[in-house]
Amino acid sequence: MGIYSCLGKDSGEVRDSLYAGRSGIILDPVRKEMGYRSGLTGFVERPVLKGLLDRRSRIMLPEQGEYAYMATLQALQQAGIEEDYIHKHEIGILYGNDSSAKPVIDATDIMREKKDNMLIGSASVFQTLNSTITMNLSTIFKLKGINLTISAACASGSHAIGLGYHLIKTGLQDCIVTGGAQEINVYSMATFDALSAFSVRESEPQKASRPFDRSRDGLIPSGGGASVILESLESATQRGAAILGEVIGYGFSSNGEHISNPTVSGPVRSLEMALRDAGMSARDIDYINAHATSTPAGDASEAKALCAVFGEANVPVSSTKSMTGHECWMAGASEIVYSVLMMQNNFIAPNINFEHPDEDSAQLNIVKTTTEKNINVFLSNSFGFGGTNSSLVVRKWSK
């Protein structure tokens, strides 16, 4: 697996940030100049790709594609998958992405000003399409299996992993690069800001993302890239790969109600389906990485759903979004990476800024400080606009 986020540029840096409970949130003055109601954002440094990629590959990649490239490069290295192996096998890619705002706006500016579309240049179309990441990474890494983008709002990355799990399970693919990426430029989040969805606790950026806390006032947009290589046991064993974990359950549902208001029953169905698929009961889960984004309504709904399914089992819960902000299309994949890092290193990362519960979160076992714990099985939730829900269950690998 590989990760490039506001918590660090690789697994080691991110593991340390998670353990330390370090926030990656800043106040961006440019957003205020551009009329944002909230200037809070996760901060992710753009990678330097010169020297790693040729000019043609670089100019085709939008911002989130750069993050996805870095995460995938790390993931392939960690998995021990080299160029020659890729050449001889049908490795696929299923990646979560649901926007590419800046390239669209840049192209539109040229179109309006110059009235000559040729001046938009050759790279724009490959940056603007929603499938920009899968089309670019499959070309860069020469992947020859399934090649598909999953767009499901803030559950995109999670569904990408869940669908990849099914393609492996049914024997259609032996190895798939899955993941999610999220742009974070000033253009990408204005429409979200228009909904007054962001926290305005600008005086304390690192305290602004406070999932489940009763004084939460909105989410903080964030981004980056996260990649997870899924592989059949047979293939991974044959290669002698270092197996990090096993996807054993995928649950999904659609609320079938309002486009942005959450429900309790939708997530409950997704959670129950994931447990059924994994052949597990609530008590078998050692840790839940909640979707909780720090919005008043969303966190309350998820708390009710978790309470309905896991209430008596008292499973430890934390939302790593308290540190990262909401990594949107990427979140479902990055939170699998964060949880695997916890599983590998025997700790639960804290739900920072959880100071006072409300009536719903008081019913949950929310982890406030870094806690040493052996995690054998974890569950990760992701929900998105339109009422799309995804829950994944992952188990530590043992022979």
Residue 109's Cβ-count burial label (10 Å; 0-12, 13-18, 19+) is: exposed
d(CA 22, CA 5): 12
CA gap 9, 1 in Å, rounded:
13
Residue 359, Cβ density class (10 Å: 0-12 exposed, 13-18 middle, ≥19 buried): exposed
Name the residue nearer to another protein (CB basis): 131 or 265: 131
Instruction: Note if 326 is an active site residue.
Output: yes
- Which residue, chain included where needed, has tokens 């899955």? 178
Residue closer to another protein, measured from CB, 14 or 137: 137
Q: Are strands 92-96 and 175-182 parallel, antiparallel or unpaired?
A: parallel
**Catalytic-role residue among 154, 159, 175, 328:** 154
Q: Which is nearer to another protein, 127 or 318 (CB)?
A: 127
- CB of 56: closest distance to another protein in angstroms? 7
The count of other CB atoms within 10 Å of the CB of residue 261 is 11
Nearest to 68 by CA among 196, 227, 193, 184: 227
Q: Minimal distance in Å, beta carbon 62 to another protein?
A: 16
- Which residue among 6, 159, 175, 291 is the active-site one? 291
Catalytic: which of 6, 159, 175, 326? 326
Q: Would you tell me which residues interact with another protein (CB under 8 A)?
A: 55-56, 59, 116, 118-119, 121-123
For residues 93 and 177, the answer to whether their CB atoms sit within 8 Å is: yes
Task: Give the side-chain half-sphere CA count within 13 A for 138.
Answer: 21
328 is catalytic: no
Closest CB 140 distance from another protein, rounded Å: 15
Residue number, 32 or 142, with CB nearest to another protein: 142
The torsion of the CA quartet 135, 140, 146, 147, rounded to 10 degrees, works out to: -10
Give min distance, CB of 120 to another protein, in A. 8
CB closer to another protein out of 117 and 254: 117
Contact 293, 381 (CB under 8 A): no
87 included as an active-site residue? no
Shortest Å, Cβ 139 to another protein: 12
What is the set of active-site residues? Answer: 154, 291, 326
